[in-house]
Amino acid sequence: MENQKWYRRLHLTYLIILLVSGAVIASIVFNVVYGNLVQENEKASRAYTQRVADSVASSLKNIELTLAARLVGNEAVDDFFNGGSADPQLAEYKASLEISDIRNNPMIYSAYFYRYKDGKVLTGGYAAKLDDFSDKPFVLGASRSPGARWSPVRGYTEYPLIDPPERVVSIVKKRSGNEGLVVLNVKADRLLSAAGALRSDPRFRLAISDGTGQTIYSAGGSSGSKRLAELTNDYTGWRYEGGMAEVGLFEEAVLRSLMPLAIVFLSLAAIYACMAYIARRNLRPLEKIVRQFTSSHQEARTEAAGGGLRTVERAVDAMLDRVSRADRQQAENVRIKRKQFFFDLMEEEEEGLSAPDWREYAKLFGLGGERCALTIAILEIDRYVPLLRRDREALLDSKRRLGEAAARLQNGGAGVVALDWISGDRLALLLKAELASDLVVAASEHLLNELLERAERELAFTVTVGLGTVAGSLAEAAMSFREALSALQYKMTAGNNRMIVYREIRDMETGIDSRYFKWLEDLIHHFRIPVTEWKSDFAKIFDHLEDRVLKNEEMQLLLNYFTHRFAREMEEISPEISGYWHAVTFPLMTGALRETGAVAEIRPLYEALIEELYGKYAAMLESGDGNRVVYEARKYIEEEYANPDLSLSHLSDRFGINGKYLSQLFKDEFGVKFVDFLIGLRISQSQKLLRDTELSVNEISRRVGYEHAISFGRVFKKSVGVSPGDYRKAMRPAGDIRSGAEKPV
């Protein structure tokens, strides 16, 4: 019997649902019916109010038209107003007869004429002066009115001493030629009673107000009524309010709802009966399950409440919880295995993984046992360290979005099979293409270029991609992985935010040219003199570095040598310049080398730093504590270095100072001997002439201040390391190793 509780509760649940549904449906049906009644009521109210307004306006229009028709071409009326008759009394008599005829209409209370020229008023029964006329205020007001308009309801009597005032509504017609007025008074009560007679239903309420807002008619009462229609008649200016009393609408709505509600409840009863039958028939297997659970679980027997379904619920919940934990564990295992795959690629030795290991990975990635076209790509975040310091949250968010975008890469037969972050700034991708092997790289490049563009457009960083060659199977992917890593070793040369394809870059690698070190010594020498030729030396060095295809380690070695050679030279200059070098220039250079990562980006920074250092060094030399004569002498030397007679004796005569003292001042101010400074200028100019002209060595020696070519050659070789002729040969374009190398794209 205990096992039947769940079944009874199930039926009780069905019954409650059906009863609630029935109540909701009944409420909806009643509200719809009641709403329809209200709408019908509103519609009838609007129609009735409009009909009353039209009826009143029509009656008044007919009266106005009748009056106008009687006045047009009426000789009696014309004689009264223009005074053209020989007998005025006869004219007034005939005019009063016309007024009497006008009053034959039962709606008309009275009419009278007012003549301007003598202020006389003529009614149907007497004539009087305006001052003696009881309706004088109205006449005066009508005289100032611009045209014919129906007046508000007012009180008026033609015989004040005999008859009480009666409510009338008046219209005034002005005679042509400004002769006077015709005033017609209509019985307001008679007019409004005729309008009230239009009430076909006693529930209708009607209220009429004239132009002043005064209520002139009300019928139907206000108890239980609601104003549903309002309108103002343009002809009369009266405002009409009409509505039907809502008393009895609820009862009528109930009566109209009985039939549909009966159908609804009968349908619900039939539905409940069908549900009970179907539940009894189809839930028998569940009843057996309940009995099995309650009989097999001791916990179910000891519970005071809950029944069999509670036992089933707990068992199902436990089962679902185990399934959920298993799914989470499975997903975690897959993630770890994918990560382990790339770790195995990094750690794989020559013998590689075993065949079962590769088969397990192939099954994990859905590759099966067949051979397929695979390739490895490694995405490296550009300027990772500065971005990590500047905005860690933005970096982490962009890394997440990059991983999501890479996972969705798919185009035709190519797509990403697996990916993992193998380091903080590197994301490895395993790409598969169902294409011929010669098309795999092109398809992979297309996908990766899309990812590069998206990263530049949407993320906080750009990426550089290293792409390995095609592998025929998963077991061969380790070689593609190593090639992708090797491609990234050329990032300093190739630059950031691009793709470096290993099979293209490997054939372009070039060695280090020894001229690099010679150009660096020239730069140091020209900086120290100082002369601006250091800029051309700097350009030669970095043009050379950008043209060479070198690995990152080699490029960093050359740039480190550049920085430390400069540092050694700065130790021999004044403490002021040396201090600035150590405090500003050197840290920025080493930081750029560590964080920038591309020669094309390092070059402008190095050039700006050396330019700033050179400016401070030159300014120190020109504004130091030495005698101004020293600077004038130096300027003179720079201009006259080609003079073979230039010497300390010549300068002594030129500037009137002892030669030995001048030499000492020169050494103290510029840190270089006069002779070395002069030789440096002459050798620098001779190098330029040897490179850029076809002049003979003898001619060049004379142009730089040497009378004998032998002396020039000896000094040149001592300074440069080679003879002038050998230097010229080495500087020819044909001897430039760069001509055989191509800059990677």
- What whole-number percentage of the chain has pLDDT above 70? 81
Q: State the DSSP string of 230-294.
A: EEE-TTT--EEEEEE--TTHHHHHHHHHHHHHHHHHHHHHHHHHHHHHHHHHHSHHHHHHHHHHH
Distance CA 695, CA 569 (A): 34
Domains 1-282 and 348-508 share a fold: no
- Whether residue 429 is predicted with pLDDT greater than 90 in this model: the reply is no
pLDDT band at 677 (very low <50, low <70, confident <90, very high): confident
725-734: Cβ within 8 A, 24+ apart:
725/697, 727/687, 727/690, 728/690, 728/691, 730/515, 731/690, 731/691
59-84 per-position pLDDT tens digit: 888 888 888 888 887 888 888 888 76
pLDDT band at 601 (very low <50, low <70, confident <90, very high): confident
659-668 per-position pLDDT tens digit: 777 787 788 7
pLDDT band at 570 (very low <50, low <70, confident <90, very high): confident
Structural contact between residues 485 and 378, judged by C-beta atoms closer than 8 angstroms: yes
- Whether residue 302 is predicted with pLDDT greater than 60 in this model: the reply is no
Measured distance between the N- and C-terminal CA atoms of the chain, rounded to whole angstroms: 85
pLDDT band at 604 (very low <50, low <70, confident <90, very high): very high
Distance CA 665, CA 502 (A): 59
Token pair 């100032």 in the structure block, residue? 144
Phi and psi at residue 415, to the nearest 5°: -175, 170
- Whether residue 312 is predicted with pLDDT greater than 70 in this model: the reply is no
Distance CA 91, CA 112 (A): 14
Burial class from Cβ neighbours inside 10 Å (0-12, 13-18, 19+) for residue 624 reads: middle
In angstroms, the Cα distances linking 415 to 237, 401, 436, 440, 495 are 82, 17, 14, 10, 26
440-490 per-position pLDDT tens digit: 677 778 888 888 888 889 998 899 998 888 877 776 777 888 888 888 888
CATH of region 515-740:
1.10.10.60
Query: Residue 724, preceding bond cis, omega within 30 degrees?
Result: no
In angstroms, the Cα distances linking 692 to 247, 286, 454, 515, 696 are 115, 101, 48, 18, 12
- The mean pLDDT value for 671-681 works out to 86
Token pair 């509103």 in the structure block, residue? 42
- Whether residue 608 is predicted with pLDDT greater than 90 in this model: the reply is yes
pLDDT band at 533 (very low <50, low <70, confident <90, very high): confident
DSSP state of 374: E
Phi and psi at residue 463, to the nearest 5°: -130, 150
pLDDT at 495: 81
pLDDT at 579: 85
- Residues forming beta bridges with residue 108, ordered by sequence position: 186
pLDDT band at 607 (very low <50, low <70, confident <90, very high): very high
Burial class from Cβ neighbours inside 10 Å (0-12, 13-18, 19+) for residue 394 reads: middle
Structural contact between residues 670 and 677, judged by C-beta atoms closer than 8 angstroms: yes
- The mean pLDDT value for 375-391 works out to 87
Q: What is the mean pLDDT of the chain?
A: 79
Residues 637-660 as b or e (16 or more Cβ within 10 Å = b): beebbeeeebebeebbeeeebebe
Distance CA 95, CA 97 (A): 5
Token digits for 332? 């975690």
Cβ neighbour number for residue 19 with a 10 Å cutoff: 13
pLDDT at 311: 58
pLDDT at 300: 44
CATH number belonging to the domain at 1-282, selected among 3.30.450.20, 3.40.50.1820, 3.30.565.60, 3.30.300.130: 3.30.450.20
Instruction: Tell me how many degrees the CA angle 436-441-442 measures, rounded to the nearest 5.
Output: 90
737: left (phi over 0), alpha (psi -120 to 50) or beta: alpha
> Which residue ranges make up each domain of the chain?
1-282, 348-508, 515-740
What's the half-sphere exposure (Cβ side, CA atoms, 13 Å) at 293? 19
Helices (H), 581-694: 586-595, 599-622, 628-640, 648-655, 659-670, 674-692
What's the half-sphere exposure (Cβ side, CA atoms, 13 Å) at 457? 7
pLDDT at 397: 92
pTM above 0.85, yes or no: no
Structural contact between residues 367 and 432, judged by C-beta atoms closer than 8 angstroms: yes
For domain 348-508, give the fold. Alpha-Beta Plaits (3.30.70)
